[in-house]
Every structure is written in C-alpha cells, then in structure tokens.
C-alpha cells in the first residue's frame, strides 16, 4: 500500500470544489487576507458552469458545455461579486420565450416571456397578461377556463408559504399533486416551466422546491423574470476570470485533484486525494449534493460534534440520516442546420407530447455561433431532456431521431437541412431543489467544528436558486472561516421585496395560517382538558 504524501500546510483553508460556490468562497477568503487552497476533481474550474469537450463540424470547432445558463435579475449577490471585480461580461439579454404545446396531435406556439416581464398588471396578477395574447388563447380550451379557480388557488397557496424562509419541507407533496386538478394546457405550461428550471418530471419535483422556485423567479415580482445569457459557451467568461482573480490574490487552485475523504486532526482537517493529504484549519465543502454525501458519510457515522448548538440539533441517529437533495442527470441534444427557422423566439419550452423540454437557438445567443451563422447562413439548436428515467435510458440514436422528428414538425422549413448532431449525457450533478428537515438538512455550519458547506443544495434562509444560491452560500461559508480568524465579514445583498399587492396577499395568507394553527391548538388543548 502506497504511503500518503502530506503536502506542505501553508494554506489557511481548503475549498473542495471549484464550481461557483467554491470559487466564490475562495475569492472572499483571499480578499479577506487568507490563502485558500481550492481542490477540483475535474480538468478545469467552473463545475456545471464549465465547458466540456469540443466538436468539429465542417471545419468549425464548437466548444460544448453542461447546458445553456441564464443569469436572472434576482442573482444579486452573484452579479455584485462580478461587478466588484470588474469581471461581469456583456451578457445577452433575453428577448422572448416561446411556449410550444402539443396535445393529441394539436400543436400551439405562443410567445409568453415578454407577457410576464412587461405585464401591466401587478404581481401576482401579471399572469393575466397571457390571456391578452391571441396565440396563448388558441392553446386553451373550455377546461382551461373552468379550472382557472384551481390555478389561482395554487398561486395564492405559493404566496402564503415560503418553504425556504419558513423551513417548510412539505414532505411527500409534489408538483404533480398541486396541479392535478388543473386543466391540461395550464397544467402543461406550469409543469413545463418547473421542469425547465428544476430538471425533473412533475411527479418527482418536491412541492417545497417548486413553490420556492415560483416565488423566486416570477410570483413576487414581474422583473424577476428578466434574465440574460452568457456571451460564450462553457461559462469561461465568468469562471476563468474568477479563478485568475483568486490566484492574483494569493490563493491556489489544483485541478484533477478529487478529494476522497476528510479526517479530523488536532489542528483542523485533512483532505485526502489518493496518496496526497492536504491539511488546513478549516474546510469548505463546495461540491454537488451527491459528492458531498459520499465525502460526509464516514463523518456522519462516526464523528461526534463538539459545538453545543449542533449537539442540541442533531443526535447520533440523525447524523447517520442526513438529508441531501437529489442530484439528477439530463441529456443535451445539439442540432446544426443549413437553414434558419422562419419565426420564433431565441428560446422556449416544450410541454405536452414532446420528448425535449426546452430549446435555445445558439446562433442568436453565443458569439461563436453568431459568427458561424453569418458566414454560412445556418442555425444551431440546443434541446434539453430532463427525463423521465425511462426516456433518458433510450439509446442515443432513438433519442436523436425522436427529437429531430419533433423539431421538423415544429419548424418544417428545416426538414432536410440538418448538417450535424450531437448528444451529450450529463451525470447526476444537477440539484433538484428541496427543503429538508432543519435537523437533518445541512446548512453552512455543520456539526463538525471547522467544516462548512456551500452549494446550491445547502440549507440557507436566503430565497435563492442555483448560481445565486451557490454565490450566497459561498460567501456565507467564507464568512464563517473569517469569523474564526477574527476578520471582517462580507455583507450579503438582500433580495428585493415583493411588489405591494403580492406582499399584501402574502401577509394576509400568513396571518390566516397563524390564526388557523392557533385555533387548532386551542381545540386540542380544550379536548385534553375535557
């Protein structure tokens, strides 16, 4: 057995994972005067925001990625971090998104993005602007009109419950259950929006995750639906400058260095990567949920916490049953054509009888594809598939044929113009948002002194998602390390409040819930006394 090689211990903290959460934590530690060491298992930094392999088509090389990413207006901490270091690239503003709906062979296309962003009605009534869109109305039938009350009830329900802020797991409840009484078209629209963002079938989407998503991205404010795209594939316009800034401030990043396990030492922690051992006083675990579960499993089974607060919150049995949100896989199909579609938005969602779940015309988003399109007159389409598992299990050739047939039916002018195709299968690394029990869902501070967590799966009261949640938890984890070193903390940018009407309805719903709970407790108390 090869003896482990202990690396020089000249780093103040170890960051495991060089995704957005890890890079954010490392940057804020380096800015605070510490020397962080970032350990990344992949060959490049960026995590799910990094690019992947390359493909050459007719002499042009395209860099692939995990999938198109949107930078939404509520990503306030993420944007503030980039702006503070002058690293914010020129994003490509979203113009329109098309809803493509098919049921029993009937296909309808309706542009819905601007209807939500530019609605004259205040939130949460801004959805009413959709009903002023003739193409949207064409997709509806009598059942949709009859079920409007159920849809409105669901939206009000989402206003009244803040799963993240109130720590409401809503265990066992799913998006499918909430929308079961809705009409086919409206149910398909909201399920399509959720699947597009949460990357899972409706019966697998936890209700807590869906309600938090709806509140964060659209329900409370109309401008929450404003978003932009990265100017180039792979997120290199963000992740590589972030990494360079960390190095310039005295930090270190090691790629191709997967961490197998963590062990506690008298002076802190040791991170084991094969036959190498890296030691530091504090560790920030900033990997995706599934990897975090694997690394923490030995600790959860055997290490007793020393923090008094942790003792009161998590006993021995609970630590062996820590809650980790699911990690899901997906597939990305890219198609190149020698022609362009006659109409339609730069992006949109499929719902109803489609294999794919969203689409992006890359030649309208990315600089490289724009140049290629100008030179050739062609177009490139990216389609994401989020399951269900039996669909993702189909052979590549079958999935490609099914998606191409659907594309030709929606854009018949592209029939026979295909130049190339590529199917990419992403591993189980996408977080399916869910709120777990407070005593089991790990937050920034863990039961193990000096070990902190960051990532979009970590419990934190901020109403944030994905890139923003990664940035928020990265800053919060860095603050915990800085606090131990008696250094100043970084202030988090607070989310914008709800629009007045949405805030008023939310307040009424919460007051009503509190009164109902109080009445129920009073009745139980009276029965016990009787």
For strands 5-6 and 276-280, give the pairing. Answer: parallel
Alpha-carbon distance 453 to 460, whole Å? 10
pLDDT tens-digit readout, 410-427:
999 999 999 999 999 998
The reported pLDDT for the residue numbered 349 is 94
pLDDT class of 3 with cuts at 50, 70, 90? low
pLDDT tens digit sequence for 333-378: 999 999 999 878 999 999 999 999 999 999 999 988 999 999 999 9
pLDDT exceeds cutoff 50 at 114: yes
DSSP string covering 447-502? SSTTEEE-STTSB-SS---HHHHHHHHHHHHHHHHHHHTT-PPPPPPPPPPPPHHH
Q: CA 483, CA 307: separation in Å to the nearest integer?
A: 15
Confidence at residue 305, expressed as pLDDT on a 0 to 100 scale:
42
pLDDT of residue 499: 96
pLDDT of residue 530: 61
The Cα 58–Cα 210 span in angstroms is 42
How high does pLDDT run on average in the chain? Answer: 89
**Range 76-93 average pLDDT:** 93
Burial of 316 (0-12, 13-18, 19+ CB in 10 A): exposed
Q: How many CA atoms lie within 13 A of 375 on its CB side?
A: 9
Sheet holding 252-254, edge to edge: 252-254, 36-39, 13-16, 282-285, 451-453
Q: Torsion angle, CA of 244/249/251/254, rounded to 10 degrees?
A: 10
Quote the pLDDT of residue 304: 44
What pLDDT is attached to residue 236? 77
How far is residue 124's CA from residue 501's CA, in Å, rounded to a whole number?
7
- pLDDT confidence tier of residue 221, bands split at 50, 70 and 90: very high
Helix or strand run (H / E) with residue 126: none
Model confidence band, residue 406 (pLDDT cutoffs 50, 70, 90): very high
Confidence of residue 398 (pLDDT cuts 50, 70, 90): very high
- Average pLDDT for 285-306: 81
Q: State mean pLDDT over 385-402.
A: 94
Helical residues (DSSP H) of 327-440, grouped into ranges? 367-376, 389-392, 396-410
Query: Which has the higher per-residue pLDDT, 195 or 250?
Result: 250
Per-residue pLDDT tens digits for 418-467: 999 999 999 888 899 999 998 899 999 999 999 999 999 999 999 999 99
pLDDT at 266: 86
What CA dihedral angle connects 401, 406, 410 and 415, to 10 degrees? 20
Q: Is 320 left (phi over 0), alpha (psi -120 to 50) or beta?
A: alpha
- Residue 234 has what pLDDT? 60
Q: Is 257 helix (H, G, I), strand (E, B) or coil?
A: coil
Distance in angstroms (rounded) separating the CA atoms of residues 30 and 23:
10
Q: How confident is the model at residue 311 (pLDDT cuts 50, 70, 90)?
A: very low
Q: Three-state DSSP class for 16? A: strand
pLDDT at 233: 62
- Distance CA(502)–CA(521), nearest Å, equals 29
Tell me the C-alpha to C-alpha distance, in Å, between residue 81 and each of 25, 27, 75, 89, 291.
Answer: 11, 9, 10, 12, 26
- β-pairing, 327-337 with 379-385? antiparallel
Per-residue pLDDT at 278: 95
Residue 385 has pLDDT above 60, yes or no: yes
Q: What is the mean pLDDT of residues 215-231?
A: 92
Q: What is residue 380's three-state secondary structure?
A: strand
The SS3 call for residue 233 is helix
pLDDT reported for residue 314: 45
Q: Indicate whether 381 pLDDT > 90.
A: yes
Q: According to the per-residue pLDDT averaged within each range, which of 4-18, 283-297, 428-442 is highest?
A: 283-297
Rounded to whole angstroms, how far apart are CA atoms 93 and 227?
6
Domains in the chain, please, with CATH? 5-48+234-324+433-484 (3.50.50.60), 111-217 (no CATH), 327-428 (3.90.660.10)
Residue 347: phi and psi, rounded to 5, are: -160, 170
Q: State the pLDDT at residue 123.
A: 95
pTM for this prediction = 0.92
Say if residue 235's pLDDT is above 80.
no
Q: How far is CA 335 from the centre of its chain?
A: 25
99 in Cβ contact with 348 (< 8 Å): yes
d(CA 386, CA 494): 32
CA 464 to the chain's CA centroid? 9
In the chain, pLDDT over 90 holds for what percent of residues?
64
Inter-axis angle of helices 148-160 and 184-198, nearest 10: 30
Cα separation, 294 vs 210, whole angstroms: 26
Contact 466, 117 (CB under 8 A): no
Distance separating alpha carbons of residues 287 and 442, to the nearest angstrom: 13
The C-alpha angle with vertex 281 and arms to 276 and 286, in degrees rounded to 5, equals 70
Q: pLDDT tens digits, residue range 499-526?
A: 999 999 999 988 888 888 788 877 777 7
pLDDT digits 0-9 by tens, 132-186? 999 999 999 898 898 888 888 888 888 989 999 888 899 889 999 889 889 889 9
Q: Of 41-45, 306-310, 386-390, 480-484, where does mean pLDDT reach its minimum?
A: 306-310
Helix axes 184-198, 207-214, angle to 10 degrees: 90
The distance in angstroms from the start CA to the end CA of the chain is 71
């Amino acid at each position: 057995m090869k003896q482990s090689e202990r690396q020089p211990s000249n780093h103040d903290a170890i960051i495991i994972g060089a995704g957005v959460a890890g890079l954010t934590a490392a940057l804020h530690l380096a800015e605070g005067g510490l020397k962080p060491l970032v350990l990344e298992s992949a060959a490049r930094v960026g995590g799910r925001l990094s690019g992947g392999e390359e493909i050459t088509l007719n002499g042009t090389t395209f860099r692939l990625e995990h999938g198109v990413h949107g930078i939404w207006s509520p990503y306030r901490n993420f944007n503030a971090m980039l702006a503070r270091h002058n690293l914010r690239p020129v994003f490509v503003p979203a113009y329109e998104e098309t809803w493509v709906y098919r049921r029993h062979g009937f296909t309808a296309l309706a542009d819905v993005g601007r209807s939500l962003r530019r609605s004259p009605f205040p939130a949460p009534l801004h959805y009413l602007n959709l009903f002023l869109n003739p193409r949207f109305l064409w997709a509806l039938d009598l059942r949709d009109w009859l079920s409007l009350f159920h849809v409105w009830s669901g939206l009000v329900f989402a206003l009244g419950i803040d799963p993240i802020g109130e720590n409401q797991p809503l265990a066992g409840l799913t998006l499918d259950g909430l929308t079961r009484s809705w009409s086919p078209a409206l149910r398909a629209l909201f399920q399509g929006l959720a699947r597009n963002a949460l990357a899972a079938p409706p019966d697998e989407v936890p209700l807590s995750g869906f309600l938090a998503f709806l509140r964060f991205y659209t329900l409370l404010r109309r401008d929450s639906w404003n978003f932009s795209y990265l100017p180039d594939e792979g997120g290199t316009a963000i992740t590589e400058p972030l990494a360079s800034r960390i190095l310039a401030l005295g930090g270190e990043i090691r790629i191709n260095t997967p961490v197998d396990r963590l062990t506690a030492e008298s002076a802190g922690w040791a991170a084991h990567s094969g036959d190498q051992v890296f030691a530091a006083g504090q560790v920030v675990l900033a990997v995706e949920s599934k990897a975090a579960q694997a690394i923490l499993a030995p600790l959860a089974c055997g290490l007793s916490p020393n923090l008094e607060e942790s003792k009161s919150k998590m006993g021995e049995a609970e630590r062996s049953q820590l809650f980790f949100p699911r990690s899901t896989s997906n597939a990305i199909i890219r198609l190149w054509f020698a022609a362009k579609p006659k109409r339609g938005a730069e992006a949109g969602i499929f719902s109803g009888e489609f294999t794919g779940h969203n689409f992006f015309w890359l030649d309208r988003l990315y600089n490289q594809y724009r140049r290629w399109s100008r030179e050739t007159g062609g177009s490139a389409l990216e389609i994401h598939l989020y399951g269900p598992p039996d669909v993702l299990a189909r052979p590549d050739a079958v999935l490609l044929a099914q998606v191409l047939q659907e594309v030709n039916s929606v854009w018949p002018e592209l029939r026979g113009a295909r130049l190339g195709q590529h199917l990419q299968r992403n591993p189980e690394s996408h977080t399916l948002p869910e709120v777990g029990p407070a005593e089991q869902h790990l937050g920034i501070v863990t039961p193990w002194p000096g070990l902190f967590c960051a990532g979009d799966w970590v419990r934190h009261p901020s109403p944030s998602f994905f890139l923003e949640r990664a940035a928020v938890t990265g800053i919060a984890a860095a603050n915990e390390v800085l606090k131990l070193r008696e250094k100043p903390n970084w202030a988090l940018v607070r989310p914008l409040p709800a629009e007045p009407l949405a805030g008023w309805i939310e307040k009424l719903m919460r007051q009503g819930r509190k009164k109902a709970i109080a009445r129920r407790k009073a009745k139980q108390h009276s029965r016990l006394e009787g």
